[in-house]
Amino acid sequence: MLLPIPDLLGADDVAYILEQLGAAEWVDGRATAGAQSREMKRNTQLPENSPVAKALGDRILDALAQNSLFISAALPLRIFPPLFNKYEGGGAFDAHVDNAIRGVPGTPVRLRTDLSATLFLTEPDSYDGGELLIETPFGAQEVKLPAGSMVLYPSSSLHRVAPVTRGARIASFFWMQSMIRSSDDRAMLFDLDQSIQALSREKGLNDPLVLNLSAVYHNMIRRLAET
């Protein structure tokens, strides 16, 4: 499932993050690439142990925790601390698949990367190129979202970032392990949850059909979830 999460961050949050990033020290982005993708990656990023990255990442995690669309789609168990990258001057990331397992630096925590996320921080008209191209069964899907919006997609997907030929594309990126391992099960639960929410808006939370479907939804999670 490839899902845009619109307006995860408001304009004030985006402006604050960009201000902090503007004063930060950037390093070669190949530091977080796996052995195979290291030669394909041409960008810069904040170091993983950067206090700025940690503070801004916490701000993003707070926004994620309050976003019902994200929670419904991802059903997250663990989220890798958000990282930040910048593409400019022809920078790109050739086709690759994200590493299956990520260790959180400075901790014993390791997570399986079920889902990947890119949170766009610069407006699409401020740079040329930089599209995120994700391979799907229906062909490559091109993603270039407004600042503050995020796309969620399977970490198993082959994807790439097109060269940036004007301006700078700044984004946050991270991975998560879902409580629901199967992507098919996650998609089914997402569709069910979205239908329940729509029905509850029409009939009310205490409608017997809404209550019955909600029970089915939570019992399915109880059966499928890994914790």
User: Binding site: which residues?
Assistant: 96, 98, 159, 169
Q: How many Å apart are CA 14 and CA 119, to the nearest integer? A: 10
For the annotated binding site for Fe cation, the residues are: 96, 98, 159
Q: Give the N- to C-terminal CA distance of the chain in Å, as an integer.
A: 22
Judging by beta carbons within 10 Å of its beta carbon (0-12, 13-18, 19+), is residue 23 exposed, middle or buried?
exposed
Q: Could you give the CA distance from residue 164 to residue 51 in angstroms, rounded to a whole number?
A: 27
Q: Could you tell me which residues are annotated as the binding site for 2-oxoglutarate?
A: 169
* Strand segments (E) across 39-187: 41-42, 44-45, 76-79, 83-88, 92-96, 101-103, 110-112, 115-120, 128-129, 132-136, 139-143, 150-154, 159-161, 164-166, 168-178
What is the Cα–Cα distance from 31 to 124, expressed in whole angstroms? 26
Tokens of 193: 């949850």
| Euclidean distance between CA atoms 171 and 5, whole angstroms | 14
Angle formed at CA 20 by CA 19 and CA 23, multiple of 5 degrees: 90
Place of tokens 């921080």: 121
